[in-house]
Amino acid sequence: MIEIVGTRDLITASKKVVSIEIGKPEKRKEDEFACPFQVNGLGDSRLQYAYGMDAIQALVMALDGIRVTLEKNGESVTWLGGDEGEHGIPRFVPQFFGAGFSKHIELIIDKEIALFAERAQEKAKKDFK
């Protein structure tokens, strides 16, 4: 029996409900954890597993597996509070290419966030006047 630790309902453009479930990561053997996840409402709803060296890595990989499943399907899904077509499952910076690569990508993301915030502040100042 799988212990569910997280759920999310999404809505398609045609108002169909897509439900996501993530199970508790389980230790399979030394240095191997498996985290079950399932996406219901987009065709193939079989139980899938993501693996990691520890429970956190398995959980992160399950979230990424959900993101890939949603995006590969091609149908636009939206989560409560999100913009249309935004499922709310983040893309993670890959760690397996080494620390240098990860830091480089994180710096690019940080610069883009700062630029976005700066432009939003400038727009707010103009709109306020």
Local structure of residue 90 (DSSP, 8 states): P
Residues 37 and 20: their CA atoms lie apart, in Å, by: 7
Tens digits of residue pLDDT in 70-92 = 999 888 999 988 888 899 999 88
Tens digits of residue pLDDT in 17-37 = 999 999 999 999 999 999 999
pTM to 2 decimals? 0.83
69's tokens: 């499943």
What residue spans define the domains of the chain? Answer: 1-92, 93-129
pLDDT of the residue at 107: 94
Nearest partner of 26 among 63, 51, 60, 61, judged by Cα: 51
Share of the chain above pLDDT 90, in %: 71
